[in-house]
Amino acid sequence: MRFQNRVVIVTGGANGIGGGCSRVFAGEGGRVAILDRDEQAAFQLADELTATGPGSAKAYRCDVSQPDELRATIEQVVADSGRIDCLINNAGIHPPSLLLNETSLDILETVWRVNFVSTFVASQCAVPHLKITQGTIVNISSMTAVLGQHGSTAYAATKAAQVGFTKSLAIELGPHGVRVNAILPSNIDTPLMHEWANTLDDPASALDRVAKLQVFGRMGSPEEIGRTALFLATDDSSFLTGQALEVEGGASLDY
Ligand SMILES: NC(=O)c1ccc[n+]([C@@H]2O[C@H](COP(=O)([O-])OP(=O)(O)OC[C@H]3O[C@@H](n4cnc5c(N)ncnc54)[C@H](O)[C@@H]3O)[C@@H](O)[C@H]2O)c1
């Protein structure tokens, strides 16, 4: 019960890595606010987590790429729950593989708004509440922020932006007792991963190839990222801030 009665906001918390975070925090007694544009999955998971306990969850339909909607939703969470102890900026999209010249400004702006502007705006809204609880922010970035990825200039740039943001905000909020860290996952078995594989000629062999990139010969699970986020959200990591934690199953080893 490492998060008992504390409140966590998980953007994109209905599926994939966000879903793993919602499950882990509710499993430790937390009260989870699931913000997602996938209303059906959000309400279904919230019902399931509340029924299972020991924590609980509440779903909020929200498109995080719309700043006004995101601000209003976070204020609603505070009105409902009375506090925020952790904000997990997880919602993100990955456009199909595109070379620089094929990446329109429309695509860049869409990815930028979902992946980065939402991180910025949600943090702005949550910080006054996190100062009260001495809470934490966890940004779900990506190993592509430091390694790059072929055909992903727009995506990787948004993920690198999250890392620079994490470090600068950690400096600003350290004196207030608020810690800010980022998680950089490698390949995690989520709906996004399968959607990407399905755009390729041979999805099964693509997924097999991706699994073998980690030294364990498998992808990570959403719950493994959720447990790392829990570590960053509790006093177990009380001397850790501004870090870009590479949770990558050894994928960057053996160069
Ligand atoms: N899966 C991976 O291998 C991997 C690796 C590195 C980083 N990441 C990052 O992890 C995060 C989650 O990825 P995932 O693989 O779990 O994706 P996913 O597509 O499986 O799940 C994303 C969730 O976010 C929600 N979402 C997307 N856009 C939204 C919006 N505008 N407003 C509200 N909700 C929105 C979706 O409805 C979904 O519930 C992303 O930021 C991604 O960049 C994923």
Question: Is 207 within a domain?
Answer: yes
Question: Is 253 within a domain?
Answer: no
* Count of CA atoms in the C-beta half-sphere (13 A) of 255: 2
Report the CATH number at residue 45: 3.40.50.720
Is residue 39 within 6 Å of ligand 1 at its C-beta?
A: no
Neighbours of 120 (CB within 10 A): 14
**pLDDT score at 234:** 98
What is the position in ligand 1's atom list of the atom closest to the CA of 141? Answer: 7
In terms of domains, do 235 and 145 share one?
yes
Question: Is 255 within a domain?
Answer: no
155 part of the active site: yes
Angle between helix 153-173 and 118-133 (nearest 10): 20
**pLDDT, tens digit, for every residue of 17-34?**
999 999 999 999 999 999
In terms of domains, do 192 and 68 share one?
no
Q: Supply the DSSP symbol for 101.
A: G
In terms of domains, do 201 and 242 share one?
no
Structural domain that includes position 30: 7-185+222-247
Average pLDDT, the chain: 98
pTM: 0.99
Please tell me the total count of domains within the chain: 2
**pLDDT, tens digit, for every residue of 203-246?**
999 999 999 999 999 999 999 999 999 999 999 999 999 999 99
For a pocket test of ligand 1, which of 9, 10, 15 has the largest count of ligand atoms closer than 8 A to its C-beta?
15
pLDDT at 255 exceeding the cut of 90: no
Which positions ≥6 away from 230 have C-beta within 8 Å? Answer: 2, 3, 24, 25, 28
If you average pLDDT over residues 102-108, what whole number do you get?
Answer: 98
Question: Is 252 within a domain?
Answer: no
Question: Is 2 within a domain?
Answer: no
Please tell me the distance from the alpha carbon of residue 47 to that of residue 236, in angstroms, as a whole number.
29
**pLDDT score at 199:** 84
How would you class 71 by CB atoms within 10 Å of its CB: exposed for 0-12, middle for 13-18, buried for 19 or more? middle
Contact (Cβ atoms closer than 8 angstroms) between residue 115 and residue 159:
yes
Of 152, 140, 251, whose CA–CA distance to 199 is shortest? Answer: 152
